[in-house]
């Protein structure tokens, strides 16, 4: 399949995952999208409140909410992070690149590069060797995956070469396959979103 055909497959299947799909004009547009999504969401719940800290009113789940908003972007390069800083300037958003363990109680949004996207299942393939990247994809309420259109794959079996490449980079190799937001039916067989990870997954498609 051509790249354009794979994009159309992703568009058709994204709502069933469910995934919010956005085609960015360029990287700056992608960062503006991330800032806009973060500003529009309700303030993040603090699952592990710290004694003596000030918080906002309790959420509908009874947890205190953070007064500020946070975007974690541990996988961005210096130049990419500078673009995000420019887009977040003048907002109440605090940007994080490291020490995400200090924010394990919760943060609003994470931005992560995916190494590939399987169009048939809308599954992101993410090199997770960095602990900061792993935490970003798991702890945020909203996960934003950046995907280059050139990395789109048709079927899962088409990811063989990509997986071999990731495994050959040396050291321990952690690769995550992420399809949609976190979901579980462990509790009384009732489906629930966000129990073990993000409540929402947004995929931002970019030209190379």
For residue 43, count other CB atoms closer than 10 A to its CB. 19
Pairing of strands 116-118, 152-153: parallel
Pairing of strands 107-113, 93-96: unpaired
Which has more pLDDT, 196 or 59?
59
- Rounded to an integer, the average pLDDT of 186-208 is 75
pLDDT-based confidence at residue 192 (cuts at 50, 70, 90): low
For the chain, what are the domain ranges?
3-47+64-206
Contact predicate 16/119, CB 8 Å: no
Contact predicate 193/185, CB 8 Å: no
Mean pLDDT of the chain: 90
Percent of the chain with pLDDT over 90: 65
The tokens for 123 are 């599954």
From residue 59, give the alpha-carbon distance in Å to each of 42, 45, 87. Answer: 9, 7, 28
Give me the CATH topology for the region 3-47+64-206.
Answer: Rossmann fold (3.40.50)
- pTM > 0.85: yes
pLDDT-based confidence at residue 157 (cuts at 50, 70, 90): very high
Give the distance, in angstroms, between the CA of residue 162 and the centroid of all CA atoms in the same chain: 20
End-to-end CA distance of the chain: give it in Å, rounded: 18
- Rounded to an integer, the average pLDDT of 41-46 is 88
Contact predicate 181/18, CB 8 Å: yes
Cα–Cα distance, 14 to 39 (Å, whole number): 23
The tokens for 172 are 């321990």
> Residue 171 pLDDT more than 60?
yes
pLDDT at site 113? 97
Cα–Cα distance, 191 to 57 (Å, whole number): 27
Percent of the chain with pLDDT over 70: 91
* Exposure on the CB side of residue 88, measured as CA atoms within 13 A: 23
Which has more pLDDT, 60 or 9?
9
> Residue 10 pLDDT more than 80?
yes
Q: For 66-82, what is each residue's pLDDT tens digit?
A: 888 999 999 999 999 99
Cα–Cα distance, 97 to 73 (Å, whole number): 5
Cα–Cα distance, 80 to 27 (Å, whole number): 8
Contact predicate 125/159, CB 8 Å: yes
55-59, 104-108, 122-126: lowest mean pLDDT where? 104-108
Q: For 108-131, what is each residue's pLDDT tens digit?
A: 999 999 999 999 999 999 998 899
Number of H helices, E strands in the chain: 5, 12
């Amino acid at each position: 399949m051509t790249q354009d055909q794979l994009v159309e497959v992703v568009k058709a299947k994204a709502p069933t995952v469910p995934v919010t799909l956005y085609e960015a004009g360029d990287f700056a547009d992608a960062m503006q999208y991330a800032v806009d999504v973060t500003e529009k969401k309700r303030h993040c719940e603090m699952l592990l409140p710290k004694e003596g800290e000030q918080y906002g009113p309790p959420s509908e789940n009874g947890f205190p909410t953070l007064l500020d908003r946070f975007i974690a972007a541990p996988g961005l390069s210096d130049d990419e992070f500078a673009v995000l800083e420019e887009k977040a300037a003048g907002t109440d958003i605090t940007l994080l690149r490291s020490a995400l363990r200090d924010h394990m109680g919760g943060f609003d949004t994470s931005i992560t590069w995916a190494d590939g996207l399987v169009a048939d299942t809308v599954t992101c393939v993410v090199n997770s060797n960095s602990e900061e990247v792993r935490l970003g994809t798991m702890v945020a309420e909203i996960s934003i995956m950046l995907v280059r259109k050139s990395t789109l794959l048709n079927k899962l079996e088409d990811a063989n070469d990509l997986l071999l490449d990731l495994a050959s980079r040396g050291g321990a190799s952690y690769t995550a396959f992420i399809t949609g937001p976190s979901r579980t039916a462990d509790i009384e067989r009732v489906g629930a979103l966000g129990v073990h990870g993000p409540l929402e997954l947004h995929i931002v498609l970019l030209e190379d």
